Amino acid sequence: TGVLIFEVEAGGPAENAGLRGGEQQLVVSGVPMLVGGDILISIDQVEVKRFEDVVNYLASYTSVGDRVTLTVIRAGNEVELSVTLEERPGDR
């Protein structure tokens, strides 16, 4: 389980840390969708099952400027990425 990363903001902290979004587009039930990105499975060793887990963890336990460790599945292997959190573009 985990959260599939569809898209990563260019120049943002996720991209700078090496997080990869989907690169291949498929149409599922008539809806175009990007696939092939990293699958986020934990933040600071806290399991991630749904997108809400990501939002809840970040809102409850982190602040702008904090560094978190993301564990992702990439091409079948676990990879750890260190990300320094920044303000969300809409919050600036």
Digits of tens for pLDDT over the chain (92 positions)?
899 999 999 999 999 999 999 988 889 899 888 788 999 999 999 999 999 999 999 999 999 999 999 999 999 999 999 999 998 765 55
Domain containing 26 equals 3-91
Contact call for residues 6 and 20 (beta carbons, < 8 A):
no
Please give the DSSP secondary-structure letter assigned to residue 50.
S
- Give me the residue label for tokens 């990300």: 83
Neighbours of 50 (CB within 10 A): 11
Residue 3: predicted pLDDT? 94
Closest CA to 5 of 41, 30, 58, 31: 41
For the chain, the domain total comes to: 1
Q: What is the DSSP letter of 37?
A: -
CATH of the domain at 86: 2.30.42.10
